[in-house]
Each structure stands twice: as structure tokens, then as C-alpha cells.
Amino acid sequence: MSYCGAPGSVLALVLRMTQFTFAAGSIASMATTSRFFNLTAFCYLIASMGLQIIWSFLLALLDLFSLVRKQSLLSPVLISLFVVGDWVTATLSLAAASASAGITVLYFHDLGHCHFGEECQKYQVSVALAFLSWFSTSLSSVIMFWLLAGR
């Protein structure tokens, strides 16, 4: 029996690839600026999104393998691991995106304008992509928790 969004389903693979793509975009946007390393929140965003990329990519490979082999990944031990991993990465992603958003709000609204030119737009894009990555990760974590609670 297959559940919507369960490990090894097409929806799970789509969610993992979405998380991976948004996190990679966030890192790419932030890393192409020359001053991101001066602010701890931006460095934390890069580290958090890097962890998100690794986690999402590995689970996407596992989902793909399960789909190709038509094997179930609904073992209680695996679901527990997915729940913990998803909640940890979701929490770190939200914290990093929120801290980085605070810095961008400081630059754009509190200080009146950003003095870094084009880099300011890259900061905003990076933060927006980080929030999108967090949103898809939170969807996965809720699905995994629901599956665990239903067992």
C-alpha cells in the first residue's frame, strides 16, 4: 500500500528534488556575491542550504532506487530516521532563512537602501529560495511525521 508522499513515491521524489533545487539556487545566488562572508547569517544560510542539498539529494536517490526496484521504504526504522532528518533540516533551514531575511530587511528598509548594488538583489533571491526550500522540506517532514504517527 502506497501513501501520498511516502518514501519511494513519485511525490516524495518531486519534493526532494524541489528541496535540492531551491537550496542549490539559494547557495548559487549567495555565493556569487563578494561580501556574503562578512555576515554570519549569510554564512549560516550557506551551511544550512549545503546540509539541505546533501540530505535531499541522498533521499532523492533512495526514492529513485525504490521506484525503479518497486520496493517499499515504509519500515518504521527508516520512517523514524526520515522524520528526525527532515525536522532537523527544516529547523536549520528556517532559522538560517529567517536570520538572513532579517539582515536583508535591515539593509533595504531600516538603513534606507543597500550600498552593495546588484549584490542586494542576490541576497533577496537567495533568501527567497531558502524559504521555498524550507517550505518543501516542512511538507516532507509533516508527511513523514504523519506516516510515523499512523504506524
Instruction: For 51-73, write each residue's pLDDT tens digit.
Output: 999 999 999 999 999 999 988 88
Which one has a higher pLDDT value, 120 or 41? Answer: 41
Task: Read off the pLDDT of each residue in 15-41 and give the average, rounded to a whole number.
Answer: 93
pLDDT at 54: 98
Q: Is the pLDDT of residue 111 over 90?
A: no
pTM over 0.75: yes
Residue 5: closest CA among 89, 75, 47, 63:
63
pLDDT at 116: 67
Task: Read off the pLDDT of each residue in 3-24 and give the average, rounded to a whole number.
Answer: 92
Integer CA distances (angstroms), 28 to 25, 46, 53, 119, 122, in order: 5, 9, 12, 12, 9
Q: What is the mean pLDDT of the chain?
A: 90
pLDDT > 70 in the chain, percent? 95
